[in-house]
Amino acid sequence: MKHGLLEEFGLIVNYKYIRRIMHKYRLVCKIRKARFKHAK
């Protein structure tokens, strides 16, 4: 039972962590696209 709860908690933490990384990645992509348009 405890192991299952730990696994669920781990998944929630991983989800938040992945979302944070995805958000940063999207921001970087936006900046790169903006720079690319500006460079052209």
Note the pTM of the prediction, 2 decimals.
0.52
Q: Which whole-number Å values give the CA distances from 8 to 13, 14, 32, in the listed order? A: 9, 10, 36
Domain region containing 18 = 14-40
5 lies in a domain?
A: no
23 lies in a domain?
A: yes
Evaluate if residue 39 carries a pLDDT over 80: no
Q: Given pLDDT bands bounded at 50, 70 and 90, which one contains residue 1?
A: low
Q: How far apart are alpha carbons 37 and 22 in whole angstroms?
A: 22
The tally of domains found in the chain comes to 1
pLDDT tens-digit profile of 14-38? 999 999 999 999 999 998 988 888 7
19 lies in a domain?
A: yes
Using DSSP's 3-state secondary structure scheme, residue 14 falls into helix
